Amino acid sequence: MKRHILQPRANWQQKAEEVGFTYHTSGTTSKDGEGTYWDESVAYEFSMAEIDELEGATKECQLRCLDAVDKVAGDAELMSKIGIPASYHSAITKSWKQSDPSLYGRFDFAYTGKGQPKMLEYNADTPTMVIESALMQWFWLQDVKPGKDQFNSLHEKLIDQFKEIKQRVPFGNKFVFAGYSDSLEEYQTLVYFQDLATQAGLTTDFIDLKDIGWNGENFTDLQENPIKYWFKLYPWEWMMGDEFGLHTTKGSSGIIEPIWKSILSNKGILPILHEMFPDHPNILPASFTEGGIPVDDWDWVNLQEHGTPEQLEAFSSGKLNPTSYVVKPMLSREGANIDIVEAGMVTSRTTGKYDGPRIYQKKADLFQDGDNRAVIGSWVVGNEPAGIIIRDHDRPIVLDTSRVVPHWIE
């Protein structure tokens, strides 16, 4: 795994807009100054062995996450523990038991090229960066690294999965894509998904979320036509807090992502996974309590070598956990409201709008080249690995403004 500095294509903005990637430049800033959201002045090289390792970890984590859903979906106490309202429990259990189909998800992995990839979290409901991953970096590869390969079958697998979903949509029913059209990224992502679904043979339509109504039996469009089969680019936890959210419990089987995915999109799944699979090489130690993060030998050696007298005294009296860990709200998104704690001190912090119960997760080493760090986004379509995309950033916590960069296999 290597980070390279390359010359961007002279007409990359035009090429981006030709594939619907119109939000490529967002005025993001780094500590080095202005930057772009898509940044092909940086790219990552992987060996085939490293790609095999990432693909295997993605498949394994997907299977273990499904094991965790099976445990949580049948346990009202666990659903309440991760903040799912009781009024949705039976709908989640039903959705899981009847195998309501899923379209996609994206794991975020810490991976250095040495040792096993470590699952940081699972963006299991409404992940974006799809156009960037499926199209933009693929066409970059053809122009910049012709003849090389890339771990990227996202486009084809999404079409295949829409074909599977089509088997559940009765003839004559439209499959509707719903989101906020005033968000350029959301709208372009939905247009792309709608095109993929059309290629898969579905009859499709688009509706702005604010235009969806309820007639007492079904969700409806502006013409009062029922909406029974639809994809929403809107998180389940937000829907559960909305006025119309409870209507989904009367028949959610036609909604993609299915309501059982609300378990996986919740970071409360991380301590549950660790409890179920405590020695799993891809699953980091995590806990619902700060004291639940285990201290390993490296933590103790690091504290002895670098700790202050006050820190050593606090540890010996049981007031300090010397391990490095990350504090995350269960329902935070895009790197918001996260703390990194090392030897009892907050060394990095992001702000945001998310509050509520938090989980504690062992800090994992990221690939690092100078100040630059990489987080691997690894896609799942259905239950199959479908490719990766890289978030490259010069700060310890990745944000929604961090650079998105391509990769190739050498």
The token duo for 214 is 């309820």
- Paired with 387 in beta bridges are 152, 379
Q: What is the pLDDT of residues 19-78, one digit of tens each?
A: 999 888 864 433 333 446 899 999 999 999 999 999 999 999 999 999 999 999 989 999
pLDDT by 10s per residue, the chain, length 410: 999 999 999 999 999 999 999 888 864 433 333 446 899 999 999 999 999 999 999 999 999 999 999 999 989 999 999 999 999 999 999 999 999 999 999 999 999 999 999 999 999 999 989 999 999 999 999 999 999 999 999 999 999 999 999 999 998 899 999 999 998 989 999 999 999 999 999 999 999 999 999 998 889 999 999 999 999 999 999 999 888 889 988 866 799 999 999 999 999 999 999 999 999 999 999 999 887 777 665 565 566 666 677 766 766 666 666 678 899 988 877 778 888 888 777 888 888 788 788 999 999 999 999 999 999 999 999 999 999 999 998 888 887 778 999 999 99
SS (H, E, C) 288-353: CCHHHCCCCHHHHHHHHHHCCHHHHHHHHCCCCCCCCEEEEECCCCCCCCCEEEECCEEEEECCCC
Q: What is the pLDDT of residues 285-315, one digit of tens each?
A: 999 988 777 766 556 556 666 667 776 676 6
CA atoms of 162 and 81, how far apart (whole Å): 33
3-state percent breakdown (helix, strand, coil) of the chain, nearest 5: 35, 25, 40
H helix or E strand, kind and range, residue 171: none
Residues 6+ apart with CB under 8 A from 306: 343
Instruction: Look at strands 367-369 and 358-362 and give their pairing.
Output: unpaired
CA atoms of 280 and 295, how far apart (whole Å): 17
- For the purposes of burial, counting CB atoms within 10 Å of the CB of 217, is it exposed (0-12), middle (13-18) or buried (19 or more)? exposed
Closest CA to 315 of 329, 295, 298: 295
Give DSSP secondary structure letters for 74-121: T-HHHHHHTT--GGGHHHHHHHHHTT----EEEEEEE--SSS--EEEE
